[in-house]
């Protein structure tokens, strides 16, 4: 039986500084009987040097050689173009692939016979899957960093300070969305001395917000939207309008607003309209954690940019905050990766078992087929007109 070879590639997308596996993770995977191959310089941006990987027992290789030898490739996000071109049938690829918004990537991996495994699809309500939950670990990092970003852009103190020069009021912070990122943001803002309020459409969030010492905002409209898998369901148009109208008064009274509401693979809900931003005081700060090419929670936010409005409000499109805390984020992600790989490996081999609930969630393509029903629907819908997939879709509609 040949040794399973697990490769870690260096991230080259934009400003990404994380790495999928740290040296400790390399040790954990070798304990499974695998050989760990690491691309030269893969961890340098997160302050894990090649010597640390070598000391952990990993083999350092250039990218082309590493991809030629690998059975399983680990990355933070979707593969770069040169990596995708080098992948071959029988290999497996694991990362945060965002398959619901990358149908072309899924189609390419499937056509190449690559087994695509995406941490995005992990069933997050399963207790035994918690150690693998990369979305939660990275959201926690993002929530913490969002508060530091807000503090950097806010021209006043966070805590109340009493000095010989006078007393400064504490900052009033509002966090919209009380998932993992939101709760981390609430806790961090509280530790910095701000007066913090939180809001979420899920009824269960009320006690979680209060447990952190923050005030929970109750809307008179009484909108609740508990959904499946720990997420909120999508609001109706009428509910959204009522929510925005009532939230506007609360938002305008706060110095800092951090928005964290995201829907996997779909446009984030608009929580803060341009009209609401116009009501905020000069010097106020909005940090939009949901800002992406799909949109954001704040009207006018731009991913990766800070916009100063005419009335003096800074709107921060906080794209990929975990990358700005690359060391801690990579350590957490490495533990998630290691835990999932340990679940996939049996007797030293990678075993795909779609009867397993965890694998059913994370395995996207296998043996030349898209095996995730939700992703398959997106891939079919995005198929070019005249393609086999498009024809099958039309045939299904007519039958």
Residue with tokens 């795909």: 352
Closest CA relative to residue 276, chosen from 313, 305, 308: 313
Q: Determine whether 231 is an active site residue.
A: yes
The backbone torsions φ and ψ at residue 36, rounded to the nearest 5 degrees and listed phi first, read -105, 125
Q: Are 178 and 198 in contact (CB under 8 A)?
A: yes
Catalytic residue among 5, 30, 50, 124: 124
DSSP assignment of 336-396, as one string? Answer: HHHHHHHHHEETTEE---TTSHHHHHHEEEETTEE--HHHHHHHHHTSPTTSHHHHHHHHH
Q: Determine whether 124 is an active site residue.
A: yes
**What gap in Å lies between CA 45 and CA 327, rounded to an integer?**
8
Torsion angle in degrees (nearest 10) through CA of 104, 105, 109, 115: -130
Q: Strand 369-370 to strand 363-366: parallel, antiparallel, or no bridges (unpaired)?
A: antiparallel
Q: Are 209 and 198 in contact (CB under 8 A)?
A: yes
Cβ neighbour number for residue 332 with a 10 Å cutoff: 21
**What gap in Å lies between CA 29 and CA 190, rounded to an integer?**
38
**Dihedral angle sign, alpha carbons of residues 162, 163, 169, 171:** negative
Catalytic residue among 231, 233, 356, 360: 231
Provide Rg for the chain, Cα atoms.
23
Catalytic residue among 5, 24, 59, 130: 130
Q: Are 5 and 34 in contact (CB under 8 A)?
A: yes
Catalytic residue among 136, 138, 243, 334: 136
Which 3 state secondary structure label does DSSP give 24?
helix
Angle at 373 between CA 118 and CA 264, to 5 degrees: 50
Q: Determine whether 136 is an active site residue.
A: yes
**What gap in Å lies between CA 325 and CA 167, rounded to an integer?**
33
Which residues are identified as catalytic?
124, 130, 133, 136, 231
């Amino acid at each position: 039986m040949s040794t399973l070879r697990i490769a870690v590639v260096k991230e080259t997308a934009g400003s990404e500084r994380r790495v999928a596996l740290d040296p400790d993770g390399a040790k954990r995977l070798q304990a499974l009987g695998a050989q760990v191959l690491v691309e030269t310089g893969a961890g340098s941006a997160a302050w894990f040097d090649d010597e640390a990987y070598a000391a952990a027992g990993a083999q350092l290789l250039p990218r082309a050689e590493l991809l030629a030898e690998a059975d399983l490739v680990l990355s933070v996000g979707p593969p770069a173009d040169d990596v995708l071109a080098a992948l071959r049938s029988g290999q497996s690829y694991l990362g945060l692939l965002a398959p619901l918004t990358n149908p072309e990537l899924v189609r390419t991996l499937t056509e190449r016979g690559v087994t695509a495994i995406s941490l995005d699809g992990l069933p997050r309500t399963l207790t035994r899957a918690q150690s693998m939950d990369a979305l939660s670990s990275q959201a926690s990092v993002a929530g913490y960093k969002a508060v530091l970003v807000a503090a950097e852009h806010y021209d006043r103190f966070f805590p109340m300070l009493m000095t010989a020069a006078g007393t400064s009021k504490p900052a009033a912070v509002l966090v919209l969305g009380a998932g993992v990122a939101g709760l981390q943001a609430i806790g961090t803002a509280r530790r910095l001395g701000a007066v913090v309020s939180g809001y979420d459409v899920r009824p269960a969030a009320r006690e979680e917000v209060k447990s952190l010492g923050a005030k929970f905002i109750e809307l008179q409209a009484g909108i609740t939207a508990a959904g499946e898998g720990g997420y909120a369901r999508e609001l109706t148009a009428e509910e959204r309008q009522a929510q925005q109208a009532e939230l506007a008064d609360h938002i305008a009274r706060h110095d800092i607003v951090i928005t964290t509401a995201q829907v996997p693979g779909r446009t984030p809900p608009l929580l803060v309209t341009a009209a609401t931003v116009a009501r905020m005081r000069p010097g106020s700060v909005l940090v939009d954690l949901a800002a992406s090419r799909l949109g954001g929670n704040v009207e006018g936010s731009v991913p990766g940019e800070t916009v100063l409005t005419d009335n003096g409000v800074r709107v921060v499109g906080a794209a990929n905050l975990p990358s700005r805390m690359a060391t801690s984020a990579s350590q957490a992600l490495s533990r998630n990766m290691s835990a999932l790989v340990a679940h996939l490996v049996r007797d030293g081999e990678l075993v795909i078992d779609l009867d397993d609930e965890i694998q059913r969630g994370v395995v996207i393509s296998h043996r030349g087929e898209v095996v995730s029903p939700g992703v398959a629907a997106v891939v079919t819908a995005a198929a070019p007109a005249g393609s086999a997939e498009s024809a099958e879709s039309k045939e299904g509609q007519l039958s």
